[in-house]
Structures are given as structure tokens and as C-alpha cells.
Amino acid sequence: MLLSFDTINFISHFIFIFLSMLIIEPPVGYLRAWIAKKMGDDTGEQMGYLTIDPFVHIDPLGLLAFYTLGIGWVNRVPINPNNITGRFKHIKLAVAMFSSCVAYILMAVVATIRYIIVARVGLNNVTALTPSSWANLFAMLFSAILSLCIVLGVLDLVVNCMLLIALAVSHNSSYHIVQLEFLALIAALFILLLWGHAIRRLMIYSVNAILVMLDNILSWFV
């Protein structure tokens, strides 16, 4: 029985999102937990996030939301500001919290460069599929990685900013950091749901501009 085009598209879309999450989240989550530990907070390590196991960092419900709504979430590595002390406490806290944003940006840049290279020159090895077919598959994968890095990076940036604001205005020491993380995540998702279309259009325009710029640069070398 042959599968319909819609069914194949449905399955391939899920596969590319799942593979992208497997590639993105382990290094990002590990880096955030590692940097937080270096800054003085080992909460992420104690909760098991100092690992490259992708299933520790991926939230199944968040993955499903990505697939159905285009907006989702991952298991965020918690950071307890009370464990970060000493000189430059606020700077170290900001470094720990925004390390994941930097990681998403770096992975997006790498995925963009790889996407352009694969799209321009294809693959040299010949297997059961033609090199152009493999090039298309890898180009689709890098494109999915780039899209997820942008969405997750924007969400992470919004959550971190809202969390810092909440920490600054909150005078209730009994208010647990996990509760603040949850409230910040809900607020960020609400913002993205309200203005998600405008944000997505802005991201598409930005990504296209970046792709054109990098394509022009790489055309001198490839």
C-alpha cells in the first residue's frame, strides 16, 4: 500500500523536528548546566542535566507542541541565584542564564553555513540515493535545526529576561526559583502565541537576509 503525499510529509516533518531536537538540546543543556556550575550553582548537575543524553533535555509535550503548534519548549536547566555569590554576582548570574541563548545562536550560525554549503555543492559520496537527494535531505535537516534554534533562542531569551525581572522585583525569599521559571515560561509562551505570527515573519525576513549575506560571502570560496 502506497503512502499518500500528505502522510509522507507528515512523517518526514516529525522526523526532521525530532532529529533536530536530538542534535540541538544535548549540547545546549549541557553547556548551561556546566557554566552554571562554574559560576557557583550546581543545581543543574544535581538534577541530572550535566549530561549529553538528549532524552534528559527534551520534553515530550514540548516536542509535540513544536510539531502541532510550531511553538514548544524543552526541559530548562534550572539555575538557583542564591548559589551564585561573591564579587560580580549579577554578572555571573547573567552569564549562566544567557549561556543557552549564546549556544542557540552559535548552533544557528553553524546550521546556516552548513545549509548553504550543502545547498551549493551537494555531497560527493554516492550511495543508494543520488548525491543531490542526500544534499536535499541534509539541507532540510539544517533548515529545521536553524528554525528550531531561532524559536528556542527567542523563547529562552524572553524567559531569562522575565525571570531576571521577577527576581529583581520579588521580595519573597520563599518563592521558589522553579515557580518563577514556570511562570516566566508560561508568560513567554503566552507572548509568543499572541504575537507569534509577527515574530515569525520577522524571523523569516531576518533568516533570509542572513542566508543571502552568507551565500554571497561563501560564493567567493565555494
pLDDT tens figures, 128-147: 344 456 667 777 888 888 88
Sign of CA dihedral 167, 169, 171, 176: negative
Return the HEC string of the chain: CCCCHHHHHHHHHHHHHHHHHHHHHHHHHHHHHHHHHHHCCCHHHHCCCCCCCHHHHCCHHHHHHHHHHCCCCCCCCCCCHHHCCCCCHHHHHHHHHHHHHHHHHHHHHHHHHHHHHHHHHCCCCCCCCCHHHHHHHHHHHHHHHHHHHHHHHHHHHHHHHHHHHHHHHCCCCCCCHHHHHHHHHHHHHHHHHHHHHHHHHHHHHHHHHHHHHHHHHHCCCC
User: What pLDDT shows up at residue 26?
Assistant: 92
Q: Domain coordinates of the chain in residue numbers?
A: 5-218
Q: To 5 degrees, how large is the angle CA 116–CA 122–CA 128?
A: 140
Query: Is the pLDDT reported for residue 125 higher than 50?
Result: no
Average pLDDT in the 163-178 region? Answer: 65
Query: Is the pLDDT reported for residue 61 higher than 50?
Result: yes
Burial class from Cβ neighbours inside 10 Å (0-12, 13-18, 19+) for residue 96 reads: buried
pLDDT confidence of 123, banded at 50, 70, 90?
A: very low
In this predicted structure, which of 8-22, 43-57, 94-108, 194-208 has the lowest mean pLDDT?
194-208
Residue 96 CA to residue 36 CA, distance in Å, equals 5
User: What pLDDT shows up at residue 169?
Assistant: 72
User: What pLDDT shows up at residue 210?
Assistant: 67
Confirm if 218 and 113 have CB atoms less than 8 A apart: yes
- Residue whose cell numbers read 560580580: 88
User: What pLDDT shows up at residue 59?
Assistant: 87
How much is the pTM?
A: 0.78
